[in-house]
Amino acid sequence: MRVLIDTSFLMLPGRMNLDIFTQLDKLLGPCEKVTLDACIRELEGLATGNSREAKNAKLGLQLAKAKGLVLLKAGSNLRVDDALIEVAAEQGADSSGSMLLASADAELRRRARARGIKTVCMRKKQVLEVL
C-alpha cells in the first residue's frame, strides 16, 4: 500500500504535535509514504519567515527528508490539489485502496472521495482515520 501525503498533512506534526508517520504505520501497517515535488515546493514557499505557519512548514520539510518520503513528479500546469488527485487516480488510488491520499484539507478529501479515492485524515486532534 502507498500513501500520498499532501502539504497540509506534512504540517500536522507542527500544528498538532502528532507523529504522522508512526500513526500511519499504526493505522495501515508498514506502507510506502510518497508526496509530490509540488508539495515540497509549496512547503518551501510557506517556510519563509518566522510565523507559526513557517515553522510548521519547516518541520514538515525536515520530516519529509528525514523519513525518506519518495517524491513523485506532478504536472507543472496543474494546481497542487489537482495534481494530487490526478496522481492518486493514475497511480491506482481507487476503491481497492492500493493508494490512499492523506490530507488535512477537507475540500481536497471531499474531491478525492468523489473520484473514488480513499483518504486518511485526522480525527479528534490525535487519531488518524481512513475514509
Contacts of 91 (CB under 8 A, 6+ apart): 2, 4, 72, 98, 99
Mean of pLDDT over the chain: 87
In the numeric block, the cell 497540509 is attached to 8
Whole-model pTM?
0.89
Which residue range(s) make up the domain with 112? 2-130
Which CATH number do you get for residue 69? 3.40.50.1010
CA distance 116 to 124: 24
User: Into how many domains does the chain fold?
Assistant: 1
Residue 94's pLDDT band (cuts 50, 70, 90): very low
Could you read off the pLDDT of 6-21 as tens digits, one per residue? 999 999 988 888 889 9
